[in-house]
Structure 1
Amino acid sequence: MSNCLHTSLLRTRVIGGLLLGLLCPLPLASAADPPVQEESDAIPVVNAPDVMISATRTPTSIGNVNQSVTIVTEEQLQLQMAASSSRSLGQILPKLVPGMSQNDQSMDSGTTLKMRGRSIAILIDGVPQQSSPTTELDLAHIDPSAIERIEIVRGATAIYGNGATGGLINIITKKAGEGKPAFYTEVQGSGSLTRVLRGLSGTVVQGFQGKKDWFDYNIVGTFSQQGGIFDSEGSRTMPGTNATGGFADTKTYNILSKFGATFGEHRFQLTFNRKHTRQDTNYLVDPSVDALPRTTARFIPGLALDDQPKLTNTQVSADYTHPHLFLDSRVHLQAYYRSQQTRFPTFDVRPFGGTDILQGHNQTDVLGTRLDITTPIPIYGKPQITWGMDFSSQHGAQHSTLYDQSVYDATGGRVYSKAGEVPSSPSRVFTTTAVFAQGEWTPLAALVLRAGVRHERVKVSSSDFTDSTTFLPASSISFDTTVFNAGFVYHLTDPLDLFFNFSQGFSVPVGTIDNALGNVPPGTAISLSRLQPQRVNNYELGLRGNWSKVQGSVSGYISKSDLGLNFDQFTNSLQRAPQTTYGVEATLDVQPYEGWRIGGTYTFVEGDQTIALSPDVRTPLNGFSIQPQKITAYLEHLTVPEWQWRNRVQVLYSGSRTRSLTAFNSGLDPTGDPFSMTEYFVVDLVSTVKAGPGTLRFGIENLLNQKYVAAFNQISFLNSFHYAGRGTTAMIGYSMTY
């Protein structure tokens, strides 16, 4: 079987190489891709936007940021959606961002998405998306049609608080309009080419923006319907069905509305965003597949389930900004409210020692405020300090629907008959309060120094809880965490910068706290070592260059934690142990001739830990934290300038990785992965052309119809979690502004 796979991969590489050689007019994408300006006949130089705020919480030139950063523009998202029928940020971003792991093609689950082997904090307009009870579906809270740009900070940072031990993704929604009313319309359809006339999907986007005197507005509505998903052999596949929910057979709508008022230098803005996704399918995983030798999951019809998985996220924020309020300070004040409702797939816990067939559903409501003040200091070197505070209070509750086991067993897992509804844990309040200060100083024209500190207090409280057998009294636990960062950027020459960064990040193990506070009998002490925040020390050294026809970066890092977090599927629990991750990231974009672009990214990450059973042995981190090396590449060409016809081929290569029990631990400890990760190679094709008043886009996902299983899904014990990836899928869309 492995020989067949090797032969298939070799054949794929040869075909892929010939294709790239023959289709020179075609294109690809990278993390540093520039906007596609339709009014220009030439492909623009690859330069990231000049302002990047997520690493500093104040407008800053990227050249002055001493961290690895990536900007994904609205134009890049439009291009990538032509090769992603599910419109999934979790599948788009790993193709563009080095250091970011690949999604398992589920609903953007934080379980599988990592940055540098650690967790990622997701923000929308600066509002944290993390929830307690945890759901880890943060990237699924907004549709790409509502996004202006995405700012990614790679590496630990605490500038926004809890969760960013591996990196930060701040999604910036579309800004309000300017001038007379303007409309934007987009339609897109897609379908499988391995199962023709099946799996048809469609999306409609309508936007409306403008400005009148002091008032401006922008409204964007999106409706999508995703049909079935099929693998390279035409068999139905439903990634995410048994874990966090998948995209197959779903209906989604997203509404973004933004209203602003400007009076002199005073700016007020109200933003509303709501994303709702619901699955409605007749298919379920064949439960008999787990009894077979290693194979991919199979899906069969006959599911009878009234309440299928869904996710609803509603966010409202009010912002006030002034560039020169006092002491010539820039002030930004934000208040926000966020509500999230999640219904997960059903789960039979009996094979894992439980007694029920259940379906969890969570409700989280969040109130918060953020204050950022940037104050210049009128002395040599023009230093400035950004300081302020953050506060949030989350109220969460988790319930479970129980299903009749006899009906389930008699129908082979097809029919779910409700047997009751129970609270599965106490309601809880998750409160954070933080103060911070971040300084920047330029003592020399070629040198920028930056340092900062943040102190955060986290308190988690649970209410009294009673079920049929147990009474748990109210309980609480608090943490105080102080983290630092320091570094510099040195401009070696005009196009070349050297940067160094030391940054600390921290992450409260929300899932562990949820379980502990919900399942601790009276009189039992909670293990504080398991509940303490994970503090990470991250050291990074890099080079960043921006020449006229070449742009690139390379960085190396090491990240250490005395109390790391890693899921162990052998014991079905989180391990807390000293951890180290390290790696190398690189990007390259070249414009060798007019109308041509070529480039890509490289990611290497590894990690190990020391666990209690063998404290003298460094054991490798498993595939829940570390994925194989990743290479992305693209070739892009402006084929017919007068038609603005551009073509792009993009490639994603995922390597192999073996971290098994026998290879590394000699059977001493239940760590590692039960299966190896094998390599695969996926090619996408995207073409855009001016057509009438708008732009026509055509894309093919998995052009070579590669049969593969995403890296994360290759390590599961169960065949029912071993999902095949999507086979060749074609998409066509049209958009225009009028």
Structure 2
Amino acid sequence: MKKVILSSACLGTTMVFAQVKDSLQTQSVEEVVMTASRKKENIKEIPGSITVVAEKQIQSQLTVNSDITSILQYTVPSLGTNSGQTSNTGQTLRGRQVLVLIDGIPQSTPLRNGARDLRVVDPSAIERVEVIKGASSIYGNGADGGIINYITKRSKTDKKISGISQIGFTGQPYGGTLGIRASQLLTGKINRFDYTFSLAYERTGYMKDASGVYLSPTYSTAKMDNYNGMLKLGYNINDNQRIEASYIGYSSRSDLNLGLSTGKYGIRPTIGEGVGKSLETTPQGTPKNHNIRVSYDNKNLFAGTSLNINLYYQDFKTVYGYSDTFLNGGQSNVISKKAGARFNFDTQLWNSANSQGEIIYGADILNDQTVQKLEDGRFWTPNMNMTNIAPFLLTKIDLFKKLTIKAGLRYENIKVNVDNFNTLSVLKSDGTFTNSIPVTGGKLNYNALVGNIGIRYNVQPYINLFASFSQAYSINELGRILRTSTSETIKSLETKPIIVNNYELGATGQLSNWLNYELTSYVSTSKLGASFVQSPDRALMIQRSPEIVYGVEGFLHFTPLHWLQFGGSYSWMEGITSLKDDGNYSAKINNSRISAPKVLAYVQAKPIPVLSLGLDMLHSFTQSRFEPNAKTGLYAYGEGYVPEYTVFNFKTSFEVNRNWKLSLGIENLFNKKYQPAIAWWSARDNEFVNALGMRGTLMVEYKF
């Protein structure tokens, strides 16, 4: 029996579903084991739904596009479509911000959300991706819409050494430079010691649209050098105790030097042309993302109790392009350092033939130091130093092997120290600059008790019902609120946290040996949400107001023949807000958070044992939720009309022998000319860009 082990904990998370397509043999839900409450669990015990992107899915999608934001848009139903750029702006989960992790280490920077947290590791190092949908407080600040946890590869062999070597080439049918990527994975086990070592390098080529025209150089993924390294060492002290240490490093830098030709929104796209003189003194991208983790497990600390300890450290920096919106111009960055510890105890209360009960308890400690500056040293936000201490308790009861009840509490205690600073002079719509204002910092204190409760009843294999309530607590975009301050003290600013209440109801099951399904509905509310809106001078600001987001998503998976499988998913959401104190939810949350309805479909076939064929489709529906300004005819930011589009990707692999494999992927198979959703809803001339045209990837793999 093959098992998929999920290591993400989700106290405060309620709907869990494992979407596993890592072979042409459908795995029944009974075979999937996951960790949805800081421990391994059978999916039949979990009152909720998650999406799991398995290793073979990642490898298959990697053949088409190595950008993890593209891989996720094709595999996660309720995740927004990607921008095709280095930024993941607009790629929200169920209409809210998502917290990104690598092996449980936070990657997101919610104190100043720079939208660079999805592209922080190379897909070749990822074993699977766990996507927990809906508000979750388990990892602290930032998980309003859920969690995306990249689980990196580990040693799964008894050999002293084994590995996978890959080299690939990418190109488009319009001439220009080729892209190249190479990766090496080594794993092994020597007595009680095991190791995993991987390296990856990618040099992307130029990016062109379906007409062979250079895409906009702004936040472009073209001509980038991407590096990734990982070392994971484990030692089994005895049958009950294990210690593990790991390092993961990622770097991405651009040397694209194209000129920029600004287009006209809805009429002519912004493009790159010729070789231009860049004003950038630092390459765009994420020059460093260092992650260090040490963990200790004891399965039998004392009678009926196990212990898990995780210590971690992250050092992150990302750099944006040159902008003349600052006085004298400049490039901004986001710099974040995090250090944390998680202590997790699991005590078995009773365990009989038909029922069992347990409690999971412990504490999480996190220190997050984040700042946004210009590369010349000027501060755009002040230094923000957050300390979060959160004890938690989760109980779980299983009755008659059919009924599971879970409930948990978590106490958030957050303190943020804010330095004194001067606001930057930025460009206004009339061509003048704002005045710099000295702002006195200080201490901000937040605390709250958040909880979750869920129930799952496995009626029959063909119908399993679940319902749940969960909460998230976050201080999202504090930095953006501070940097636009018009007051001389932070005490007068609206910096209250976002508390999200998430309600979920769903059903899942296996109607036959060849059909699995899931249907989920959800509602999330917050008394004080946070959204980007456009100010009168067309600058972006944060709007704080009550919010309701609701939606549905469904999934079908068919395996009519042992060599053929196909299926798809559908997701739809809506968001409304109350802009007045009358409680009337008469306004809509804009499209920067509320994605257009999306259909994902796939077919995979293995007509002979050595040949695999696959076709993926993404269809994004029309989104027409707002009207342009009656006087100017212009849409406000986030409110632009979004037309529908459909894209197909093709992939195939051929196993030459037990060691060698050839793979071919074609992105945008029919060379569709279209614009990504963000190009339309942002309603800005410089952001109205075309999407990538047809591009092919040829990959050679050697396994030993």
TM-score, L = length of structure 1 = 0.85
Task: Give the C-alpha shift of residue 670 in structure 1.
Answer: 9.3
Kept in 1, the 8 Å contact 2:61–2:71? The answer is yes
Kept in 2, the 8 Å contact 1:454–1:483? The answer is yes
Distance 1:127 1:154 in 2: 18
Residue 627 of structure 1 aligns to which amino acid in structure 2? S
Q: Deviations over 1:329-365 (max 9, x none)?
A: 221101111101221111221xxxx534221123222
1:2-81 superposed matches below 5 A: 32-36=19-23, 43-47=24-28, 50-53=32-35, 55-81=36-62
Distance 1:173 1:486 in 2: 30
Task: Give the C-alpha shift of residue 620 in structure 1.
Answer: 1.5
Task: Give the C-alpha shift of residue 227 in structure 1.
Answer: 1.0
Corresponding position of 1:181: 161
1:205-220 superposed matches below 5 A: 205-220=183-198
Task: Give the C-alpha shift of residue 233 in structure 1.
Answer: 0.7
SS at match of 2:73: helix
Residue 64 of structure 1 aligns to which amino acid in structure 2? E
Distance 2:423 2:679 in 1: 35
1:604-643 superposed matches below 5 A: 604-612=572-580, 616=584, 618-641=586-609
Kept in 2, the 8 Å contact 1:182–1:210? The answer is yes
Task: Give the C-alpha shift of residue 525 in structure 1.
Answer: 3.4
Distance 2:501 2:422 in 1: 41
Higher strand proportion (structure 1 or 2): 2
Residue 357 (str. 1) matches residue 329 (str. 2):
yes
Distance 1:327 1:725 in 2: 58
SS at match of 1:118: coil
Kept in 1, the 8 Å contact 2:45–2:398? The answer is no
Corresponding position of 1:431: 387
Q: Deviations over 1:665-707 (max 9, x none)?
A: 999x997854211000000111111013222111110111111
1:30-179 superposed matches below 5 A: 32-36=19-23, 43-47=24-28, 50-53=32-35, 55-84=36-65, 87-109=66-88, 111-131=89-109, 132-179=111-158
Residue 375 (str. 1) matches residue 353 (str. 2):
no
TM-score, L = length of structure 2 = 0.89
Unaligned runs of 5+ in 2: 1-16, 425-435
Please point out which of 481, 489, 507 is paired with 2:474.
Answer: 507
Residue 256 (str. 1) matches residue 234 (str. 2):
no
Distance 1:478 1:274 in 2: 33
Kept in 2, the 8 Å contact 1:315–1:338? The answer is yes
Kept in 2, the 8 Å contact 1:31–1:98? The answer is no
Distance 2:560 2:20 in 1: 15
Corresponding position of 1:26: none
Task: Give the C-alpha shift of residue 718 in structure 1.
Answer: 1.8
Task: Give the C-alpha shift of residue 386 in structure 1.
Answer: 1.2
Corresponding position of 2:418: 462
Residue 496 of structure 2 aligns to which amino acid in structure 1? Q
Distance 2:437 2:545 in 1: 31
Kept in 1, the 8 Å contact 2:439–2:489? The answer is no
Distance 1:698 1:683 in 2: 14
Task: Give the C-alpha shift of residue 544 in structure 1.
Answer: 0.9
Residue 480 (str. 1) matches residue 447 (str. 2):
yes
SS at match of 2:124: helix
Corresponding position of 2:545: 577
Residue 182 of structure 1 aligns to which amino acid in structure 2? S
Please point out which of 387, 396, 401 is paired with 2:370.
Answer: 396
Kept in 2, the 8 Å contact 1:709–1:723? The answer is yes
Distance 2:631 2:359 in 1: 53
Task: Give the C-alpha shift of residue 228 in structure 1.
Answer: 0.8
Corresponding position of 2:622: 656
Kept in 1, the 8 Å contact 2:18–2:49? The answer is no
SS at match of 1:531: coil
Kept in 1, the 8 Å contact 2:423–2:483? The answer is no
Q: Deviations over 1:97-145 (max 9, x none)?
A: 1111111112252x22111111111111111112244322111111111
CA change 1:614–1:142 in 2 (3 A) is: same
Distance 2:448 2:571 in 1: 31
Higher RCO (CA 8 Å, separation ≥ 6 residues): 1
Residue 274 (str. 1) matches residue 249 (str. 2):
yes
CA change 1:379–1:691 in 2 (3 A) is: closer
Kept in 2, the 8 Å contact 1:394–1:431? The answer is yes
CA change 1:516–1:251 in 2 (3 A) is: same
Distance 1:293 1:142 in 2: 34
Identity percentage of aligned residues: 25
Corresponding position of 2:261: 286
Please point out which of 489, 508, 511 is paired with 1:544.
Answer: 508
Which 10-residue stretch deviates more, 269-278 or 337-346?
A: 337-346
Corresponding position of 2:309: 333
Distance 1:519 1:323 in 2: 51
Kept in 1, the 8 Å contact 2:382–2:479? The answer is no
Distance 1:458 1:666 in 2: 46
Task: Give the C-alpha shift of residue 326 in structure 1.
Answer: 1.7
Distance 1:234 1:167 in 2: 38
Please point out which of 638, 653, 672 is paired with 1:706.
Answer: 672
SS at match of 1:676: coil
Residue 649 of structure 2 aligns to which amino acid in structure 1? D
Task: Give the C-alpha shift of residue 317 in structure 1.
Answer: 0.4
CA change 1:284–1:373 in 2 (3 A) is: farther
Distance 1:189 1:533 in 2: 46
Residue 599 of structure 2 aligns to which amino acid in structure 1? I
Kept in 2, the 8 Å contact 1:32–1:589? The answer is no
Corresponding position of 1:27: none
Kept in 1, the 8 Å contact 2:266–2:688? The answer is no
Residue 299 (str. 1) matches residue 272 (str. 2):
yes
CA change 1:384–1:361 in 2 (3 A) is: same
Distance 2:172 2:489 in 1: 57
Corresponding position of 1:14: none
**Cα RMSD over matched residues?**
2.4
Distance 2:381 2:138 in 1: 31
SS at match of 1:210: strand
CA change 1:108–1:387 in 2 (3 A) is: farther
CA change 1:426–1:656 in 2 (3 A) is: same
Residue 388 of structure 1 aligns to which amino acid in structure 2? G
Task: Give the C-alpha shift of residue 310 in structure 1.
Answer: 2.5
Corresponding position of 1:679: 644
Distance 1:318 1:160 in 2: 17
Distance 1:247 1:514 in 2: 25
Task: Give the C-alpha shift of residue 524 in structure 1.
Answer: 6.3
Which 10-residue stretch deviates more, 543-552 or 74-83?
A: 543-552
CA change 1:283–1:297 in 2 (3 A) is: same
